[in-house]
């Protein structure tokens, strides 16, 4: 069974985000970029399936700029067998990425595609769902556990009411939650080996798809700074402060 894993290059989650001075977006020049944390979990799950002899091949795929090759090398160092970059300099949006993934799926014919439940830069949580819609495949979103049994798969999903268990037939689209596993750190020998693993580069045109954005970002602003809190010396003072606030509303 072949498994495809979608990985996105995003600003590292430890970076203090800065907005560009012209308010056109987030500053990415000279900023540390990394694999989207949810996608690291997806890669780990695919590699575990290979180690358990459930998956025969793990292919990491990304849609993005030339530098997204670094993100794919991370997936290769974690244990993916090969990688494909659909290279584009446009800002990717879920629909464009879903179309690119659908085109790759037609070529690769995987039985399972794993994605993160969301990208931490756009917080869309849409790509997996759109892909399942375009393919007409079943989907298990925000999976926090996965069990495969032949052509069926059971996924646990954390929902408001508790844990929901669903069963879907393969092929299927799965988006993963952070609780699914604890991703491994690539060892130095594996990082060295990853440099020799195959990484193919395609273009959206070669796949016959259009990934141009459908939305226009008008401006991006930082959240307004919160003013410092005040400590009340007594309950009476607290009650008085609350009353002043309520009267001011
Ligand atoms: P989103 O719908 O943007 O929140 O992204 C959900 C998931 O879709 C991510 O965790 C990735 O697995 C996948 N994804 C989104 N954008 C890309 C991209 N440009 N390249 C590869 N995978 C992506």
Q: Tell me: the pLDDT tens digits for 102-144? A: 999 999 999 999 999 999 999 999 999 999 999 999 999 999 9
Checking DSSP bridges between strand 33-35 and strand 112-116, what pairing results, if any? unpaired
Which has the higher per-residue pLDDT, 223 or 69?
Answer: 69
Q: How far is the CA of 196 from the centre of ligand 1 (A)?
A: 25
For the chain, what are the domain ranges?
A: 2-248
Q: Which residues of the chain form beta strands (DSSP E)?
A: 2-6, 9-11, 33-35, 57-64, 82-87, 112-116, 139-149, 152-159, 162-169, 172-176, 199-202
- Does residue 64's CB lie within 6 angstroms of at least one atom of ligand 1? yes
Percent over 70 (pLDDT), the chain: 100
What's residue 228's pLDDT? Answer: 86
**Contact partners, residue 238, CB within 8 Å, separation at least 6:** 232
pLDDT at 229: 85
120 lines ligand 1 (CB under 6 A): no
Residue ID of nearest Cα to ligand 1 atom 17: 8
| Superfamily of 2-248 according to CATH | HUPs (3.40.50.620)
Average pLDDT over residues 77-98: 97
Residue 226 is predicted with a pLDDT of: 83
From first CA to last CA, the distance across the chain in angstroms is 61
Pairing mode, strands 162-169 and 9-11: unpaired
Q: 16, 71 in Cβ contact below 8 A?
A: no
Model pLDDT for residues 197-244, shown as the tens digit of each residue: 999 999 999 999 999 999 999 999 988 888 888 889 999 999 999 999
Residue 150 confidence (pLDDT): 84
Which pLDDT belongs to residue 249? 75
222 or 189: which carries more pLDDT confidence?
189
8 lines ligand 1 (CB under 6 A): yes
> Ligand 1 in contact with 35 (CB < 6 A)?
no
Q: Is the CB of 141 under 6 A from ligand 1?
A: no
Please check whether residue 145 is in contact with residue 155, taking contact to mean a CB–CB distance below 8 angstroms.
yes
Confidence grade of residue 154 (pLDDT, cut at 50, 70, 90): very high
* Cβ pair 73, 37 in contact under 8 A: no
């Amino acid at each position: 069974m072949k498994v495809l894993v979608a990985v996105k290059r995003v600003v590292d989650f430890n970076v203090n985000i800065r907005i560009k001075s012209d308010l056109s977006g987030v500053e990415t020049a000279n900023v540390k970029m990394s694999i989207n944390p949810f996608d690291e979990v997806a890669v780990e799950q695919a590699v575990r399936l290979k180690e358990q002899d459930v998956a025969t091949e793990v292919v990491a795929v990304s849609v993005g700029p030339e530098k997204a090759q670094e993100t794919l090398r991370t997936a290769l160092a974690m244990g993916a067998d090969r990688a494909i970059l659909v290279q584009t300099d446009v800002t990717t949006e879920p629909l464009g990425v879903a179309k690119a993934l659908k085109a790759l799926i037609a070529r690769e014919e995987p039985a399972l595609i794993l994605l993160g439940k969301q990208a931490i830069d756009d917080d869309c949580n849409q790509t997996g769902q759109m892909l399942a819609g375009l393919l007409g495949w079943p989907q298990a979103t925000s999976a926090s556990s996965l069990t495969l049994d032949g052509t069926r798969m059971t996924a646990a999903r954390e929902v408001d009411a508790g844990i929901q268990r669903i069963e879907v037939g393969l092929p299927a689209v799965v988006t993963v939650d952070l609780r699914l596993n604890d991703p491994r750190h690539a060892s130095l020998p594996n990082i060295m080996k990853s440099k020799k693993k195959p990484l193919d580069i395609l273009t959206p045109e070669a796949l016959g798809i259009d990934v141009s954005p459908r939305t226009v970002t008008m401006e991006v602003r930082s959240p307004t700074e919160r003013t410092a809190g005040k400590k009340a010396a007594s309950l009476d003072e607290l009650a008085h402060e609350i009353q002043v606030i309520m009267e001011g509303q």
